[in-house]
Amino acid sequence: MDYIWIFVIVNTIEEKYFKSMGLKIKELREEKGLDQKSFAFYCEIGRTQLHMIENGKTNPRLSTLLKIATALEISVSELVEGK
Long-range contacts of 26-34 (CB under 8 A, 24+ apart): 26/54, 28/72, 28/74, 29/54, 29/72, 32/72
Q: Three-state DSSP class for 57?
A: coil
> Does the model's pTM come out above 0.85?
no
Residue bearing the bigger pLDDT, 24 or 5 = 24
Residue-wise pLDDT for 30-74, tens only, equals 999 999 999 999 999 999 999 999 999 999 999 999 999 999 999
pLDDT beyond 70 at 8:
no
- The CATH T-level fold of domain 2-80 is 434 Repressor (Amino-terminal Domain) (1.10.260)
Show me where the domains of the chain are located: 2-80
Give CA–CA dist 50/5, Å, rounded.
31
Q: How confident is the model at residue 81 (pLDDT cuts 50, 70, 90)?
A: confident
Q: At what angle do helices 2-31 and 62-72 cross, to 10 degrees?
A: 30
Reported residue count of the chain is 83
- Tell me, what's the pLDDT at 82? 66
